[in-house]
Amino acid sequence: MLTKSIKDWGLGVDTKKPILIAGPCSAETEEQLIETCKQIASKTNTSILRAGIWKPRTRPNSFEGVGKIGLPWLNTVKQQTQLPVTIEVANTAHVELALKAGIDVLWIGARTTVNPFAVQEIADSLKGIDIPVMVKNPINPDLELWIGAMERLHLAGINKLAAIHRGFSVVLSGPYRNLPKWDYPIELRRRIPGLQVICDPSHICGKRALLQGVAQKAMDLDFDGLMLESHINPDQAWSDAAQQVTPDDLKKLIDALLIRKPASSDPLFIDKLDSLRGTIDHLDQNILKLLGQRMEIATEIGKYKKENNIAVLDLERWKTIFDTRMKMAGANNLSELFADGLLQAIHQESIKKQTDVMNNSMIEE
């Protein structure tokens, strides 16, 4: 299990927050890789340079990466920039070649994290090796699978771990290529204190125009760093052209980020914040008390329906509740998405209370 006793979670390379990881989606040619990385290193405060050597593509017969011939190019990049380099590994052969080539940091891609067999094989091939590994979220929104992948690596002795949030492949992803689920990285940090969490705006956005907003949001949520794709000639990139930016635009994006302090020692600020938080504590207490009372009434209704042999769900009543409460929520400045989720959760719990009564079951699900 991911124990709290581990002190050295994190990439273990000399990095200041926010850690910046940048480079092209793919290494295409020696010139493209070296020129891109040199420009990134000279124009920005990037800590680690990235490039894909083996590319997991959706369809065959598209560019699947240059393969191992790109590894010596990364060595040249290291020498010329004096920065550590990272590549994606998806199987044991990749791991062996990466280690032999002196790659400093590995990352596991979203399409690999999703597969416990693949992750276990990679973890086994890393036994006894002290190398930082970054684990992208799986393509589907499954927090446990993401944690599970890190557990497999941790159990194999890898302690220098970081998680990368690159969004999730869902049917309705709005303007994004991969929908970000900001509660997941927050929950990750709650469950694994000390774990470094990086945001990958490039794969979340899929297009340049959205990058700044997503990168800023990650900073506002206190992510430890960013992974961003950059290419000397983005429009001509052999993979992920629409989301890559020139090293100059990468610099602009980073310079425009507002890095706010996580806390303040100003007594006036602390006083005011404490008072506002006191009000929140009080309101939460009331909300939970009221919800408890609401559930007690739901249980009573369940008993009454049982005595009279009436079914639990009354669709018309639920429709009325939903419509009226959504209006009330709107009038109280609550967003539709939030109100919808809250009402559904309350209704589900009420139904559960009533079915428990109906079936006399006290079994915890």
**Residue 203 in contact with ligand PEP, rule: CB under 6 A:** yes
194, 17 Cβ separation under 8 angstroms: no
Compose the 8-47 pattern: x for residues touching ligand PEP by CB under 6 A, - for all others.
Answer: -----------------x----------------------
CB of 53 to Mn ion, least distance (A): 12
For Mn ion, the closer CB: 158 or 218: 218
Q: Shortest approach of ligand PEP to residue 262 CB, angstroms?
A: 27
Residue 177, Cβ neighbours under 10 Å: how many? 18
Q: Say how many residues make up the chain.
A: 365
> Of the ranges 107-115, 141-149, 216-224, 255-263, which one interacts with ligand PEP (CB under 6 A)?
107-115
Which one, 65 or 302, has the nearer CB to Mn ion? 65
Sign of CA pseudo-dihedral 69, 60, 141, 157 = negative
Interface with ligand PEP includes 109 (CB under 6 A)?
Answer: yes
Q: Which is nearest to 313 in space by CA: 339, 347, 340?
A: 347
Q: Which residues contact 268 (CB under 8 A, 6 or more apart)?
A: none
DSSP string, 150-176: HHHHHHTT---EEEEE--B--S--TT-
- The region of 41-49, 64-72, 104-112, 316-324 touching ligand PEP under the rule CB under 6 A is 104-112
Whole-angstrom CA distances from 294 to 34, 44, 202, 263, 314 are 64, 55, 44, 37, 17
Q: Does 83 sit near Mn ion (CB under 5 A)?
A: no
What string of DSSP letters covers 94-136? HHHHHHHTT-SEEEE-HHHHT-HHHHHHHHHHTTT----EEEE
Residues 137/110, Cβ–Cβ less than 8 Å: yes
- Give the type of residue at 123: A
Nearer residue to Mn ion within complex by CB, 224 or 240: 240
Q: Give the span between the Cα atoms of 178 and 201, in whole angstroms.
A: 10
Of the pair 156, 199, the CB lying nearest ligand PEP is at 199
Q: How far apart are CB 211 and ligand PEP at their closest, in Å?
A: 14
Closest separation in Å from C-beta 61 to Mn ion: 18
Q: CB–CB of 346/294 below 8 Å?
A: yes
Q: Is 48 in the site for ligand PEP (CB under 6 A)?
A: no
- How far, in Å, CA of 334 to CA of 330, rounded? 5
Q: 267-307 vs 336-358: helix axis angle to the nearest 10?
A: 40
Q: Does 136 participate in binding ligand PEP (rule CB under 6 A)?
A: yes
Check binding of 177 to ligand PEP (CB under 6 A): no
Site membership for Mn ion, residue 104 (CB under 5 A): no
240 interacts with Mn ion by CB under 5 A: yes
At closest approach, how far in Å is the CB of 74 from ligand PEP? Answer: 15
To Mn ion, the closest distance from the beta carbon of 229 in angstroms equals 5
Closest to ligand PEP by CB, 114 vs 298, is: 114
Q: Does 110 bind ligand PEP (CB under 6 A)?
A: yes
- Which 290-319 positions form the footprint of ligand PEP (CB under 6 A)? none
Our CB check for ligand PEP shows the closer of 98 and 298 to be 98
- By CB under 5 A, name the binding residues for Mn ion: 25, 240
- By CB under 6 A, name the binding residues for ligand PEP: 25, 52, 56, 109-111, 136, 166, 203
